[in-house]
Amino acid sequence: MTTVSEIMSSDVACIAESDTLEKAARVMADLSVGAVPICDDQGNPVGIVTDRDIVVSCIATGGDPTTTTAEGFVGDLVSVAAQDDIEDALEEMQENQVRRVLVFDGGAFAGILSQADVALAATSEDTGRTVAAVSMS
């Protein structure tokens, strides 16, 4: 059994709700990632913002990423436990049609499992099924 903790990304930086989308983009660029969690003052994730969110929800609608804050991206989060079997995590991603899930270990934020992590570690069948499921409209 492969667990989520074996393939997840644990080197994750958070931004605050009051941080701008420009800062979120800089963090993403620095880490070469496509998403960054939004965390409260205690470091608990309360949302996630993606590179696509910045482009589609802000820039394409005439928003200014230098003044628009991450606050608008706080909401429902999809998460799994670090000890979960990767198959269970893939099902969660597929059911929720998300490319990333937050990972918790004993209630503490531990990292992110992304579609890219899955592609690097899972079978081609699992990867293909997950990509197809989360890409459906």
Average pLDDT over residues 22-38: 95
Confidence (pLDDT) at 136: 61
Q: What is the pTM of this model?
A: 0.83
Q: Would you tell me the crossing angle of helices 86-96 and 124-135 to the nearest 10 degrees?
A: 20
Q: How far is CA 89 from CA 21, 42, 69, in A?
A: 28, 25, 30
Share the mean pLDDT of the chain. 89
133: pLDDT confidence band, cut at 50, 70 and 90? low
- Domains of the chain with CATH codes: 4-135 (3.10.580.10)
Q: Which residues of 105-135 are buried (b: 16+ CB within 10 A; e: fewer)?
A: eeeebbbbbbbebbeeebeeebbebbeeebe
Residue range 58-83, pLDDT digits in tens: 999 999 999 999 999 888 899 999 99
Short-list 72, 69, 67, 66, CA closest to 18:
69
Each as own residue / partner, the long-range contacts of residues 57-60 (CB below 8 Å, 24 or more positions apart, any chain) are 58/21
Ramachandran sector of residue 92 (left: φ over 0; alpha: ψ -120 to 50; beta: rest): alpha
| Number of helices (H), then strands (E), in the chain | 6, 6
